[in-house]
Structure 1
């Protein structure tokens, strides 16, 4: 995995920002693939860039500012698992070179019977290929072959419930290596989701500050009222702390953490950012007044996206329970452990 240095990170940040300033492409997914962002975690041999969570976080966060981050996090979840356990597979090559979207199913009541998956997969992101993890085995299945029922989330993105009974697919990996890789990928993707959430936090805070500066009440701007000043300062402080926690977690994850340490870092950062995102959404609505809950409000797409993202791969309560179950905090890279042993 290639770790971003300062110059590479700034170059990627500028590239994503420039994309956001330009006209929106007719086919957003094709445009993201053409930039190399959807397949950024795949190895270069199959059309990827070999990047990890630090690059994906920059991409997801930058695109979130213009409300166009879907499906970066979902694709990273699947692509990063392919990079770790099946980097030269046809599925990885189709994603890297042809732009086929891939989604990952790792929960549900799915089992394998006679070498074929059986059961129902819920809340699956739309894709060309579906990766299914069940009974310690990873299979790739054609999405369109499954019996699918569609649903729409609050942010407008579509998910599917798939009945997988009787489908045949391509065996990609199994065993302890798959379990370890899945644990790592889930932790990294939680950080990428947190980066997207943090971008929505920043945008909602900017919109709120602008509203307080320009909205007049009793002959003066709302920003002159002390109660609102205190409220927005509290939200600003939460955002600063969340950014510090998340930036440190992403940097450590990219450098390489032991599994327990990576889980701790991801749980800590995700719980913090989840809470801040919800507090920011509530606070922004409060300070916007009745306008804050309308479809026409500039807050609306960011609040809806926050509501869709916060439960995905772990609510704050779930993250804290998982954190507590791991045990004593010890965040070190493997190299640091070698030198201190």
Structure 2
């Protein structure tokens, strides 16, 4: 069993065909077939069967696919670390979901690097969906994921909830729904009333399988969700009276108290959710990933993430939902 054979099989399992795997590897289809044949002989299992225009994995093939992906990812990580050992002090690769990236990640990383200088070296952050967490951890393209609870994180993941948040529906004070609410104190706004108006959201919209997504599924219809480059941009549209938004409660609390925005009473709200920190299990996670996973549950981290004011990501990176390389000196 060789790394090249495992790489070929991992791609065949992922892409569903030998031809697609050969194209991705830049080799011939017979070469892929030969690599898989060697694996079959070595393991004593057919691994896959031809099925229509693609393949179907045998139970043994399913078992191998998970391990092959992990081993190839680990090998690539080792190659990279050895190649950059002379010029790098190490680093931590973090996947963050969009809302967490905008509202909490920059302050958290500032607090982490200040509290544990040198623990992670340079923090390399990318924004992605919760649905990608499991695969990104297994193939070692990220060390830790922060934000929305991961979808199907997998048996090798350790998922630690660290911050509960609430989403509430808000509108401008002079929005028709706000006026209706003031004219009918104590009554709830119906889903039918809500669906008349546009809903604003950040670039990820409503995360699939999140508590917000489940709540939307209870409504009589789906709202017209207008995604913006950031939740801050969506809130700007709401302030102008252009629609409503499921906003983070701690982000808009000051504006609600000041009367700039109004909280709309709707059945099922506020919606409570959890932000989580996900790594591989402790025996496989890096020391830096374990350190960050432990830090996010601290009082110091919570205070940093819930601090009021504009996110430093807007100033430092020009985009509230994209963080490139983050370090204590940046």
What TM-score, normalized by structure 1, do the two folds share? 0.23
Whose radius of gyration is greater, 1 or 2?
2
- Which is strand-richer, 1 or 2? 2
> Larger RCO: Structure 1 or Structure 2 (Cα < 8 Å, ≥ 6 residues apart)?
2
- Which is helix-richer, 1 or 2? 1
